[in-house]
Structure 1
Amino acid sequence: SPLLSIVHCVDTVVWMDQMSSILSIDRHAKTVTVQAGATLAQLNRALEAEGLAFSNLPSVSGQTIGGAIATATHGSGMRAGLLSSAVLALEIATPAKGVLRLTRASSSPLFWAACCSLGVLGVVTEVTLQVEDAYALSVEQEPRTLDDVLVNFESVARSAEYVRFWWYPHTDWVLLNTADRVPPALAPPPRRPSLLSRLLSRVRFNVLQSALLASWIVTPLVPIINRVWRWLYFSSRARAIVCPIQFFNFDCLFMQHVDEWAVPLSEAAAALTGLRSLIEFRGYRAHFPVEVRFVPRDSVWLSNAHERDVVYIGVISYRPFGIDIQDFRKYFADFDALM
């Protein structure tokens, strides 16, 4: 979120792009050792070549592994934790103790602190991660009503290995996405989208961006945009077998402000009910989607999922053509207070 002062550095930024080598991949032990500046996209390609894969990934893969660990970056699924929980060992350069090597096997408390430190302990320079054999995912997309999901919340959360859903504010609908592992041979080979497909995708992108810009002047357009876009593109069931990246990563469209909170699994349905009431009562023109993701408990000290199952609930405010078209701060502040 742009409201968090920690991301507004006024002193020194450490850029790790010159420390981005993949140092080793152990096919037998299913581990990978990398310098902290390697990106998730770079790692995904290297692991794929060795028949390996991460157990879970976030929505985008452009960030470095060091940054992803430092911020407890997560995907979604009650059987696969955040990236920090895959760390087996790391090296961290500290101002007082020099370079420390910390391992999970050592049972050092500092290890669990360093697996998510927001950079305050030092600079992570090298990481060893647990990975696994490559797999494909059998993915199902299903429209359901928000009330149906809220009533059956915990069973929905555990209905598949990977679960996430998007709620479309100003509608009663969510798009539930679930995925379970299948043998990698079942996934069709990747194909480059046709010229027509790419053209239609670009047209769709620009139509939505222009409609959002128009809602800057005509604010009642936002609920209409949410309803129409959901009906056009997210209102039907679909099934497919895909490689994991196709499910984990997705296009976030335009620049946007984001505010995301983690709440205990047992309280998430009530939190979403409160968010719906907040939007209706305050008259906020909330952009789609409200993204809901699930993360199991872990041992990482600063993780939001430390010793508890959590649900991440994220709201957004789009910036079409780089323009802030609404005063998102009041909306976000009320959302913060609710959480």
Structure 2
Amino acid sequence: MKKMKQGQTWKNWAHTSESTPERIFYPATIEEVCEIVKDAGKQKKSIRVVGAGHSFTKLVQTDVWLMSLDLLSGIDSIDEENGTVTVLGGTRLFQIGEELGKRGYAQENLGDINVQSIAGAISTGTHGTGIEFGNVSTQAIEIVLVTASGTILTISEKENSEYYKAALVSLGSLGIIVKVTLKIISCPIYEYTSQKVHFSQLEKQLKQFVKSNRHFECYLFPYSDIVQVKTMNISERKPQSLKLHHFQNLLLENYLFFLISEMCRLFPKSSRFFSRLSAKAVGSSSIVAHSYQLFATPRIVRFREIEYCIPLEHMGAALIEVRNRIEEKKHKVHFPIECRTVKADDIWLSPSYERESAYIAFHMYKGMPYESYFRDMEEIMKKYEGRPHWGKMHNRKFAELSDTYPKLPEFLEIRQELDPNGVFLNEYVKKLLSIS
């Protein structure tokens, strides 16, 4: 019997989206998902689907029907011969990592947060870093959708292939992802390193950092010349205990940073001082462990975020302009600016569509004004052909999106074909994609 709640308020993780749906459904089987969708069609109700609620936009927000995939979770099968794993749509990324790790396997790449559901990660183009690796959607070789008619549609390069490139990043607007088959690899052992460099050094060696490391990311601290560089590369050494590493992450990157953030919220003019202090506190460290244990770090401090994808060749120039704009406008921000790289792909709504990409993310602590800062950063990202991350805050209009996503018209044709009555839409998605 499917679980259902009425009159319950839903909020996303960042508390940037809130609504009270008529009903919230918690199906535990694919059959239950089909039944709910058929009921929605009969009653002319719309459905939005939520995984972990880690999108910062109003992608999920609805006053009609909301479906949580929390109970539709778990690994269905592992095909060791072909190097694939099949998982249910609500399975969280950390669960996949842990279960695969027990068998000696891993996803080839993950982001720095691993609490998202696999369906949500695919739908929004969630990514990690490493110029030889695409976003999480590129790992999916087969997707099983429940369509607006309540029927099951299997999509891959071999089956219903005309929908494949549209379904890999779809904002939940084509149907409900109930099952995914992913490529997997033998679980690598990585050496993770963190080092402190000056921005001038990053400028000179940026191309080398990107090309010579399997996974590279860096963090710029507002009002500071110090940059934290993080890398992960294959190691022949034995994995080490992660207890101290995790303790330091929790203590420094969460609890102490929470106290700093509260000080900045109460005394915004202190943001410059605390950003510089945080930069000075960056130390050199190294740890060897299995890949899935190192990709993500806990996130306890809540924040607002925008993130833009720009062509990789513009990364250095964009970062210089970002630093200058923060100094010029004296923005009261202390959160580091996160910079990552992603391989080009051919997924229609992927921000990395047909270009090697740099992703630059800007954060503001919850409770602090963010509009002016985000507006200025977004202006710079637009200048460098920026495409917004679908799960992060942005102010792009449909006309602008049409200019930057050449396959958007084809995507919308497929969306109309699979969901002609708009069962899987909400007001936010309708406005974003100019659907009447």
Same fold per superposition (TM over 0.5)? yes
Amino acid at match of 2:345: D
**Please, which runs of 5 or more residues in structure 2 have no aligned partner?**
1-13, 17-55, 382-436
Q: Residue 154 of structure 1 contacts residue 265 of structure 1 at CA under 8 Å; is this kept in 2?
A: no
Larger CA deviation: 19-28 vs 122-131: 19-28
Paired with 2:149 and 2:203, the residues of 1 have a C-alpha distance of 49
Structure 1 unaligned spans of 5+: none
Find 2:338's aligned residue among 291, 296, 312.
291
Whether the 8 Å contact between 1:291 and 1:313 is mirrored in structure 2 is: yes
Partner of 2:369: 327
CA distance in 2, matches of 1:46, 1:120: 29
Separation of aligned partners in 2, 1:89 and 1:203 = 40
**Counterpart of 2:123 in structure 1: which amino acid?**
A
Cα distance change on mapping 1:107 and 1:265 into 2, 3 Å: farther
Q: CA deviation at 1:275?
A: 0.9
| Structure 1 match to 2:238 | 186
- Secondary structure of residue in 2 paired with 1:252: coil
Alpha-carbon offset, residue 12 of structure 1: 2.8
TM-aligned CA deviation for residue 109 of structure 1: 3.1
Displacement of 1:42 after TM fit?
Answer: 1.2
C-alpha change, 1:330 and 1:7, in structure 2 (3 Å) is: farther
Aligned partner of residue 59 in structure 2, secondary structure: helix
The answer for the alignment partner of 2:91 in structure 1 is: 38
Kept in 1, the 8 Å contact 2:264–2:334? The answer is no
SS in 2 for 1:149: helix
CA RMSD of aligned residues (A): 2.4
Q: What's the TM-score, normalizing by structure 1? A: 0.89
Aligned mates of 1:303, 1:200 — CA distance in 2: 31
* Aligned twin of 2:6: none
**C-alpha contact (below 8 Å) 1:167/1:291 kept by paired residues:** yes
Which residue of the partner structure matches residue 298 of structure 2? Answer: 251
Task: Decide which moves more: 255-264 or 21-30.
Answer: 21-30
Instruction: Choose which of 85, 99, 113 in structure 2 pairs with 1:60.
Output: 113
**Match in the other structure for 2:134:** 81
Counterpart secondary structure, 1:240? strand
- TM-score between both structures, scaled by the size of structure 2: 0.70
1:283-327 per-residue CA deviation (whole Å, 9 max, x = no partner) reads 1022221000100001211110111111110011113xxxx0x21
Partner of 1:161: 214
Determine if contact 2:146/2:178 at 8 Å carries over to the other structure. Answer: yes
CA distance in structure 2 between the aligned counterparts of 1:257 and 1:160, rounded to whole angstroms: 29
Matches within 5 A, 1:167-182: 167-182=220-235
Cα distance in 1, alignment partners of residues 176 and 126 from structure 2: 17
Deviation at 1:276, TM superposition (A): 0.9
* CA distance, structure 2, for counterparts of residue 270 and residue 200 of structure 1: 31
The code of the aligned residue for 1:209 comes to F
| Structure 2 residue identity aligned to 1:225 | F
Identity over aligned residues, as a percent?
Answer: 24
Cα 1:126–1:199 change in 2 (3 A) is closer
Shift of the 141–114 alpha-carbon distance from structure 1 to 2, 3 Å rule, reads same
- Structure 1 residue 73 displacement after superposition: 0.7
Counterpart AA for 1:229: S
Runs of 4+ with >6 A deviation: none
